[in-house]
Structure 1
Amino acid sequence: MITGSKFSNISAVILLLIVCLPSVGLAEKSALSLPIEGLESTVLEEVAPGDYRILFEGQPLERMTGAEFPALRNLEIKIQNKNLREMQADRTINALLIAMARIADEPTLIYLHELYESYPERRNDVAEAISWYARENQRRDADWRILVRSLNMVEGEQAKAVMKTLTKFRRRSNKAQWIRQAILVGLKQDAEGQQLASDLLEHWTGKQLTQLSGEKQTPMLIWQNWFAETYPDELAATLPVEAKDSRWKFQELQSDLRKRSKKSFDLKLGEKAYVKATCVKCHRYGKLGEKVGPDLTHVSRRLQRKEIMQATIFPSHFVSEEYPTYTIITEAGKVLTGMMGAAGPDQIMLLTNEGTKQLINKDEVDEIIPVKKSSMPEGLLNLLTKEEAIQLFGYLTTLPEGASQAYRHTTR
């Protein structure tokens, strides 16, 4: 342990990490090891794959006092704001958040939860940090909710960490939405990750499907078939597929966006792309557009950029309960599909998949059928050039002028 003046000075000295970050060469090293100047033999280090701790002479400082929290928080904020390459900054912040979770005191945990709610782009790292905390400390309902919600976005090793921790909680999810999401996460995983997803599903449902099945099937295929039989009215637990005529592919756009700095986005070009892609017909963004579909003004405070892209390219992969789609069949045999809205006591307003508004007299309606598909049409990005598509997502991940800052984290 660090004692005396060394321990009392850690808050001031740890900030010196900022000075050495640009020269560390994170991308070139297989393991992260950042010396904390001024503290002999003290480093922020990756001691196991994905496990970061502050070490003194090779031993983890797992229970620093709450007095060290402000220094770690300020360090995390400064790294976030520095002009480091994105992968370098992301990895360093990931390490710091896990190290912060090791502190395991109330102010730190509150901070991590606020960070999760206020900054969607940080949710993967926060979820991983909380998973490390919950695995080694008390398992709280608030942490369980964060980890379950993170299944919408975590990938790779972070997804494995979250799933492994969720199996340690006594609490289980019986909601079809989250069972489906656990299957979707598993479908993206290697053999180890698929087994972790299967373990989580068995923990939640009480079903030992992979052990009972005598057929040679992958664990996820077994769970997909079970889900389809158990929840026939839910969206299928299948990964989205790119349309053959899709001009711009999800992975391609995501890769290009990751290479862009915030300064490379031109909000005026993004606004033009928003109009050109016909987003304005259904969605309000700031003062622009209609209010028929979800308001996108604060979408960057609710969803990650990746999630916004997925919702645009694969609109029917997840359909919000707030904006259901219906097919209306009239007595004359006319079939219309879209989102319904009130238009008076005797009429129904239907926003069709083409973005047009149709008024239908209620006495002409023969049948109304719920549809497991979004009213938002696919292929809207086909109307844009690649640069316009990139600028569109840069535009949507920036708060419009005059928008409320209520979603911002209070310490920033």
Structure 2
Amino acid sequence: MKPVIFSKIIIPLRFIKFKRKWAFLMDSLKKMVLIRSLVLMLVCTAVGNLCLGKTPAISMKIDRLEDTMLQEVAEGDFRIMVAGEPLDRLTGAEFTALREQELKLQNQKQKDAESERKLNALLIAMARIADEPTLIYLHELFESYPERRNDVAEAISWYAAENQRRDADWRILVRSLNVVEGDQAKAVMRALVRFRRRSNKAQWIRQVILIGLEQDPEGQQIAARLLTHWTGQQLHNEGESANRIMQQWQEWFAAKYPEELPAVLPVEPADSRWKYQDLLAELQQQKKSTLDLKLGAQAYEKATCIKCHRFGKKGEEIGPDLTYVSRRFQQKEVLLSTLFPSHFVSEEYPTYTIVTADGKTFTGMMGAAGPDEIMLLTPEGKKQMIKKQEVEEIVPVKKSAMPDGLLNLLTKAEVIQLIRYLGTLPEGASDKYRHKLP
């Protein structure tokens, strides 16, 4: 083989040919990678940037309305569009059609995440241009269907932000603080800051602190602004960490309201058989499965709920009546209060400690038993009769009379079916509560 000589450097011709082929191959490979990347980028864009973790923009035809769409014109910006232009006010015919569309989505037997997003988006779009009938409809949804309260509250927060701020809407938003989470909680708290009306009730101040404790730094800042708006207290300095801000509000609440339940998140006992988040995830998953009323009824007795609570025609009437609990609370609220009974104690069913003249103490919920006696329901579900003349002192306590750990008696399937069982209207419930969507 003949060598090529350049300035005393000898390079074989075979190596030069190989190098040229290698350069050609690498250039072709780069072009292939570039083309593939472009194709992949176009595909990702076409499906709404799913590969980047983004959900596709919502676009849905509204039945019975010509050339009318529900569209997400920007991320999180939902509008009713007519012939490509945003609708600025609802008429009677449009409201009827949108309500029927909402009912159609709601009544789907198999609702997926996309359907849930469309439901939420439709309520927001309706609220932004709501007239009086639309607002009445949203309030009816909130009152009658607890499971819809998160979405309704978010929709009303949009109305309050872009339109007038009404007292009736303020009350809805405040009540929603018990259930809203994440971005929906942020939207509700932002809206409440816009209202001149403020709450001085410890219950709601505590709830805002609890929401803030579960929020990201942005949400904690919003919670702090609402707390300052309501209380007039400026507890934090600029640049202070969000976690420290919420800690300061906890300390302030404990000093301001020493008789109230502390503003702390519930802690699962070490011996707890079940974790709230695990059960909640299972409950949400099981909503699409068949309800086992028989297993739920058996769990109601097995967990000793029947000793204190009335449900339809079953159980005692010492504690809160649970017959209509599904019309007052979301299933996740029922689960939370069952796992952590002292996290929220109803003003209607306070717990007391009674000290007798001979030094004995009894704790539980009080009930009338006659002119000369007090009946105390103990955490064990027993009725303790105490003579009034023997009572030395009655002291309110922060702990619920309902004992901890009742769900430890159940299997996971029994827990889920118990909560779903309580989410129904039992035999003996009034027919006026057996409503359909308005």
Do they fold alike, i.e. is TM over 0.5?
yes
CA shift at 1:331, angstroms? 1.9
SS across alignment from 2:364: strand
Higher relative contact order (CA 8 A, sep 6+): 1
Residues 261 and 153 (structure 1), Cα distance of their counterparts in 2 relative to 1, 3 Å cut: closer
Residues 189 and 354 (structure 1), Cα distance of their counterparts in 2 relative to 1, 3 Å cut: same
What amino acid sits opposite 1:125 in the alignment? D
Counterpart mapping for 1:263-282 below 5 A: 263-282=289-308
Q: Quick check: 1:36 aligned with 2:53? A: no
Counterpart mapping for 1:62-81 below 5 A: 62-81=88-107
1:359-401 C-alpha deviation (Å, 9 max, x unpaired): 1111222211110111000100001111111110110001113
Q: Quick check: 1:336 aligned with 2:362? A: yes
What amino acid sits opposite 2:189 in the alignment? M
Partner of 1:8: none
Flag structure 1 segments of 5+ consecutive residues without an equivalent. Answer: 1-23
Residue 430 (structure 2) aligned to one of 398, 404, 407: 404
Q: Quick check: 1:179 aligned with 2:205? A: yes
Partner of 2:287: 261
Aligned identity (percent) is 67
Partner of 1:294: 320
CA shift at 1:55, angstroms? 2.8
Partner of 2:9: none
Partner of 2:26: none
Q: Quick check: 1:359 aligned with 2:385? A: yes
Partner of 1:233: 259
CA shift at 1:170, angstroms? 0.6
Residues 293 and 173 (structure 1), Cα distance of their counterparts in 2 relative to 1, 3 Å cut: same
Q: Quick check: 1:45 aligned with 2:71? A: yes
Normalised by the length of structure 1, the TM-score is: 0.89
CA shift at 1:58, angstroms? 5.4
C-alpha contact 1:185 1:197 (8 A) present in aligned 2: yes
* Aligned alpha-carbon RMSD (Å): 2.4
Normalised by the length of structure 2, the TM-score is: 0.84
C-alpha contact 1:31 1:46 (8 A) present in aligned 2: no
C-alpha contact 1:26 1:32 (8 A) present in aligned 2: no
CA distance in 1, matches of 2:371, 2:315: 26
Partner of 1:156: 182
Residues 168 and 345 (structure 1), Cα distance of their counterparts in 2 relative to 1, 3 Å cut: same
Residue 348 (structure 2) aligned to one of 322, 325, 334: 322
Residue 368 (structure 1) aligned to one of 372, 384, 394: 394
Q: Quick check: 1:55 aligned with 2:91? A: no
Residue 245 (structure 2) aligned to one of 215, 219, 224: 219
CA shift at 1:402, angstroms? 3.8
CA distance in 1, matches of 2:296, 2:408: 15
1:118-175 C-alpha deviation (Å, 9 max, x unpaired): 0000000000000000100010000000000000100000000000010000111111
CA shift at 1:332, angstroms? 2.0
Residues 277 and 110 (structure 1), Cα distance of their counterparts in 2 relative to 1, 3 Å cut: same
Partner of 2:27: none
SS across alignment from 2:236: helix
1:253-299 C-alpha deviation (Å, 9 max, x unpaired): 11011111355211011000000000001000000000001100010
Q: How many residue pairs were aligned?
A: 389
CA shift at 1:343, angstroms? 1.0
Q: Quick check: 1:347 aligned with 2:373? A: yes
Partner of 1:247: 273
CA distance in 2, matches of 1:148, 1:306: 18
Comparing 248-257 and 282-291, the one that deviates more: 248-257
C-alpha contact 1:298 1:399 (8 A) present in aligned 2: yes
Flag structure 2 segments of 5+ consecutive residues without an equivalent. Answer: 1-46
C-alpha contact 1:314 1:378 (8 A) present in aligned 2: yes
